[in-house]
Structure 1
């Protein structure tokens, strides 16, 4: 944060390199939130995204020899400001990255008209996985319903019937993001006989959750799942420690697995887990390039202690996914400077194999996955990370969601959305 202040926010919203601004390039704006109540989580993510693109510009001259124009438009996580940023940046852009489920839901109908792809890795509206209905939206590599499924599978030891008779609380931000997993949890509770208890946390309650934790003490759930963000995470973790809730029964979604939130309680947070579709790999070859070409060159907004964190390295993965979509489109259309429609095709045809991840120097940073015109998520699965008192460490092998169950919910939810927003274009020709 200090480094960001020193360089000034103005530098953060500028293009990654001055050269990119003067040349024809690939315009990939990012709707960031380096300010506001969620800034603590936004800053390392945005720094990682920015540094990966800066590395590509410095090492490769961009993607396919075309410089990357990576502009930032600050939203403060405000849906209203996010829509304003979308309108302000969409003109020359080949993608939009809304960075909020609320903003995503607002710009979703607009992208059909503007024909610009939304890239919302691991967030947004879970039924966006259905590419037939959501032709311009991508939430790869995992959706919120994937995350909810993996958490329940972990808690049930791979057998959800073992959760019968249990009580599972969902401590969630009272915001579209926090409400995303509720339909999935409700369906699973009904099918498997466990009690589901949603406990909302208002935006003004994030740092004072005494009422919510009083309810948790009274209800005594077997597990608490956290769907938190920003200041809510640190507030919940502090309350859990204060009330002596068993940390090994406290588990969060991937946005509730931020190093700094656990660092505030240190060893007292030992045992807390977070499902994650990314994992930090400090010794990954890509990190050497990032450090040499961006960080040591003085072109990074990140602090030294961010580089190996979960969120910073997740930011790298997010920009890598976008870069792969661009590269795939360039190769297919034999064009270096692609447009938004061509990028949509590229995002629909990503194939991140183990071999490709090794080529990128990112083995172990994200599970392999592939997309298609019908599958805009990839459903890559992930890993359980656990706080050991000082850092997050891997606590599971590669986990996968219950794809069959999720697919059975995605289709009807997507169809319901299309009907509620009729006339809504559907790609009837998409078969796979």
Structure 2
């Protein structure tokens, strides 16, 4: 009888096994109730100021959703950053590193880099991971029939360029007054900077103004020859399509050569505090585009302050940047990502979503005025409705001017030249489809 295990020990072992199994199941369930979002951020390098603000706002919004709401539909949001330094090769490395994280794999990739976007167009299709490029990236990807996995949402570079011409035209007393005028396009010599070329050339032909193209090499802190040329050309307007250190350098150079900043209009990546504050007085009067607005006095920003910063859980070391342009852009990224999760959960259930399910959520987004008000983002960003064929949305752009201390709104939301832009998008996307052997989707059949 020495080999007989006492009943008490047997029962104890059984209870322990059940408890261990329950704990394991509980851990697995808890892990399964998390939605992973990979963040290919850049907090070091030439463009760190913009990246740190944008990703800070995005992370703070997700943290607020977790703290205030317990996540989305009971599913907590989790994330991990991967440093790209705004470098294409590093961006691809981060994509590969993050894509299998989480219980269902990475559910969305937002590189905040046009170069990285171009590098991943084929990969996201193969891996079934939606790539969201809010206000940047490849414009013709707005044709969802050819690019079902890419979402250049809210507004694209081509739409923005047409609103720039509209804004300049209004300042001249009417779009017809542009005939015979001269506009310099001072642009970052990269995939980002080259996005504006084609549409501005078409606008020049349409409205009869001459366009002078002046590329600036990365990172943009050397512009002596370009501003010598501007001095010689004596343009009526300068479009500054810059990023990072290129922007304050351009504003200082303009002041030095006597070119009025009131005659300079910047791309939205030239229109943040990180672009104007370093330029000092040279930035006063400069105007830039935006797909969201600056300022902390919006309910959504106050919700972040109440639920995150008052608990000492904020992502920004410098709390004065909360409500800045780049920070608020990050909040827009957070809003769109979370609303896509809500949209997809309504169809697939309140559970962690795969990349394929998230793609459906992005493609069926409908953030109308009522929803923006509910989110505390009324006036903060334009309405957004995405469809199978249209992955852009409203295309609306607003303009802000730097008064020496802060950004002031100086326009309503401006409509792009939709007919021109959509025609260009469809023509370019069709060419891409032919080159790649892609059969465009029939959106009428998909419903």
Q: Structure 2 length as normaliser, TM-score?
A: 0.89
Output the CA distance in 2 between the equivalents of 1:103 and 1:268.
Answer: 32
Aligned to 2:426: 411
For 1:86, the equivalent position in structure 2 comes to 95
For residues 82-131 of structure 1, the C-alpha deviation after alignment (integer angstroms, 9 at most, x for no partner) is: 01111111121111112210100110111111111001101100111100
Question: How many angstroms does 1:404 deviate by?
Answer: 1.0
Secondary structure of 1:107's aligned partner: helix
Match of 1:102 in 2: 115
C-alpha deviation, 1:349, in angstroms:
1.1
* Partner of residue 299, structure 1: 313
Which residue does 1:134 correspond to in 2?
147
Q: Kindly indicate whether the alpha-carbon contact (under 8 Å) linking 2:251 and 2:282 is maintained by their aligned counterparts in 1.
A: no
Question: 3-state SS of the aligned residue for 1:251?
Answer: strand
> SS at the partner of 1:264?
helix
Matches within 5 A, 1:274-285: 274-285=288-299
CA deviations on 1:222-267 (whole Å, 9 max, x unpaired) are 1100111111111111111211211111010111101122112334
TM-score (norm 1): 0.92
Equivalent of 2:374, from 349, 356, 359? 359
Render the CA deviation track for 1:183-231: whole Å, top value 9, x for unaligned: 1011111222111111100015x11211111111111111100111111
Aligned counterpart in structure 2 of residue 252 of structure 1, from 244, 248, 266: 266
Query: Paired residue for 1:73, among 82, 89, 113?
Result: 82
The question of whether the paired residues in 1 share the 8 Å contact of 2:388 and 2:443 is answered with no
Q: Are the equivalent residues in 2 in contact too, given 1:31–1:97 (CA < 8 A)? A: yes
Q: Report if aligned partners of 1:366, 1:382 keep a CA contact under 8 Å in 2.
A: no
1:124 aligned onto 2:143:
no
Q: 2:225 aligns with which of 208, 211, 221?
A: 211
1:202 corresponds to 2:217: yes
For 1:265 and 1:113, the matched residues in 2 are separated by 44
SS of 1:225 mapped into structure 2: strand
Moved more, 188-197 or 156-165: 156-165
The one-character-per-residue Cα deviations of 1:340-395 (angstroms, maximum 9, x if unpaired) are 11111111111111110110011111011211011101034021100011111100
Question: How far did residue 22 of structure 1 move?
Answer: 5.0
In the aligned structure 2, how far is the partner of 1:20 from the partner of 1:283? 39
Whether contact under 8 Å (2:33, 2:351) holds in the other structure is: no
SS in structure 2 of the partner of residue 70 of structure 1:
strand
Deviation at 1:428, TM superposition (A): 2.4
CA distance in 2 between partners of 1:64 and 1:395 (Å): 39
* Counterpart contact for 1:59–1:293, Cα < 8 Å: yes
Distance 2:29 2:351 in 1: 14
Preserved CA contact (<8 Å) 1:228 1:255: yes
Residue of structure 1 in register with 2:58 after alignment: 49
Q: Is the 1:20–1:67 Cα contact (8 Å) retained in structure 2?
A: no
- Between the aligned partners of 2:245 and 2:387, the Cα distance in structure 1 is 36
Counterpart for residue 185 of structure 2: 170
Per the TM alignment, residue 425 of structure 1 is displaced from its structure 2 partner at its CA by 4.5
CA distance in 2, matches of 1:73, 1:96: 11
Given the alignment of the two structures, is residue 427 of structure 1 paired with residue 441 of structure 2, yes or no? yes
Tell me, yes or no, if structure 1 residue 149 matches structure 2 residue 158. no
**Number of aligned positions between the proteins:** 412
Find the counterpart in structure 2 of residue 14 from structure 1: none
Answer yes or no: is the 8 Å Cα contact 2:74–2:350 preserved in 1. no
Quote the Cα distance in structure 2 between the aligned partners of 1:219 and 1:129. Answer: 35
Gaps of 5+ in 2: 1-27
Deviation digits for residues 301-358 of structure 1 (CA, Å, limit 9, x no counterpart): 3112101211101110111011111110101223422211111111111111111011
| In 1: Cα distance, 2:255 partner to 2:134 partner | 31
> 1:376 corresponds to which residue?
391
The match for 2:7 is none
Q: Please give the alpha-carbon distance, in whole angstroms, between the structure 2 residues aligned to 1:162 and 1:324.
A: 42
| 1:387-412: CA deviation from partner (whole Å, max 9, x where unpaired) | 01111110011211111111111100
SS at match of 1:32: coil
State the partner residue of 2:46.
Answer: 37
User: Which secondary structure does the structure 1 equivalent of 2:421 belong to?
Assistant: helix
Q: What RMSD, in angstroms, separates the aligned Cα atoms of the two structures? A: 1.8
Q: Secondary structure of 2:52's partner? A: helix
Q: SS of the counterpart of 2:442?
A: coil
Displaced runs of 4 or more, over 6 A = none
C-alpha separation between the residues in 2 aligned to 1:374 and 1:159? 33
Q: Which residue of 1 aligns with 2:360?
A: 345
User: Is 1:321 the equivalent of 2:336?
Assistant: yes
